[in-house]
């Protein structure tokens, strides 16, 4: 298990380093500030590391209790996008919500919500996963 974690961390560090190097070469061409994209990437990297550290402190078993409410909340946000006056049109499509001067895409919340919901469902039904109905139709129905 320890080797797996070390390998995973090494792969992530290599990918992050490559990504920053690629952004550094693109920044000088596209922006006046040569480090524009690199600075933004490092800012988001720091935020992601902080979020990962906070998430790692929680026992993942508690996520089971939140699976259905989190999924329902994400579906609610996805519906809000389609309501005129609430959803924000950007580039000709309703994909954004605004809150206190901050805009976000509810689909970004729906992604982890569906992963947690799917994991919750699989954990509850692992003995019957080989059945066609429980093993195929219901999981794909959850994701649809």
How far is it between the farthest Cα atoms of the chain? 58
* pLDDT reading at 122 higher than 80: yes
What is the token pair recorded at 98? 């605004």
pLDDT interval class at 92 (50, 70, 90): confident
Strand order in the sheet with 93-99: 87-90, 93-99, 102-104
Q: What is the pLDDT of residue 59?
A: 86
Q: What does the pLDDT look like over 4-62, one tens digit per residue?
A: 888 988 999 999 999 998 888 776 655 577 777 888 899 999 999 999 899 888 888 88
What pTM, to 2 d.p., does this model score?
A: 0.67
What is the rounded average pLDDT of the residues 71-87? 89
What is the token pair recorded at 121? 């469902």
Q: What spatial distance separates the first Cα and last Cα of the chain, rounded to whole Å?
A: 34
Q: Average pLDDT, whole number, for the chain? A: 84
CA 119/CA 126 separation, integer angstroms: 10
CA 15/CA 94 separation, integer angstroms: 33
Q: Are 106 and 77 in contact (CB under 8 A)?
A: yes
């Amino acid at each position: 298990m320890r080797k797996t974690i070390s390998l995973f961390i090494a792969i992530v560090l290599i990918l992050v380093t490559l990504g920053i190097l690629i952004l550094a070469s693109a920044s000088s061409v596209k922006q006046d500030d040569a480090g524009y994209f690199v600075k933004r990437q490092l800012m988001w990297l720091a935020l992601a590391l902080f979020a990962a550290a906070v998430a790692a402190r929680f026992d993942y078993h508690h996520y089971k209790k939140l699976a259905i409410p989190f999924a329902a909340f994400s579906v609610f946000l996805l519906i809000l996008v389609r309501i005129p006056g609430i959803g924000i049109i950007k580039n000709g499509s309703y994909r954004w919500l605004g809150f206190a001067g901050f805009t976000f895409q509810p689909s970004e919340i729906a992604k982890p919500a569906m992963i947690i919901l799917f994991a919750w469902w699989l954990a509850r039904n692992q003995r019957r996963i080989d059945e066609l109905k429980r093993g195929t139709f219901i999981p794909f129905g959850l994701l649809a």
